[in-house]
Amino acid sequence: MDLVELTETIVKSLVVNEDAVSVKEFPTDEENCILIQVMVSDEDMGRVIGKDGKCANAIRTLVQASSSLKENKYVKIDIDKF
């Protein structure tokens, strides 16, 4: 499973409005870095971020661990709302 698909699967399992989830990969200036942008609806933002950012950090940890097994690139995940 690729990193974008993994991120999308995790985020969709957390939100109520799955149709409003958009996950895309963007190039960065750094050679060994991947930027993944996650867009969710306003009402689901709290679920994805979690209390004190714990859910967002857990998502980042899981995706980074998957990256270290395959591509060994640093992953940045940006979570925003529509």
Q: Where are the alpha helices (DSSP H) in the chain?
A: 3-14, 45-49, 54-70
Whether the CB-CB separation of 16 and 44 falls below 8 Å is answered with yes
pLDDT attached to residue 31:
87
pTM of the full structure = 0.92
Confidence tier at 74 by pLDDT (50, 70, 90): very high
| β-strand partners of 25 | 36
**Residue 31: partners with Cβ closer than 8 Å, 6 or more residues away:** none
**What tens digit of pLDDT does each residue of 5-58 get?**
999 999 999 999 999 999 999 989 988 999 999 999 999 999 999 999 999 999
Residue-wise pLDDT for 56-73, tens only, equals 999 999 999 999 998 889
**Residue 17: what residue type?**
N
- Structure tokens of 34? 């991947």
Is CATH 3.10.20.30 the right assignment for the domain spanning 3-81?
no
Query: Residue ranges of the domains in the chain?
Result: 3-81
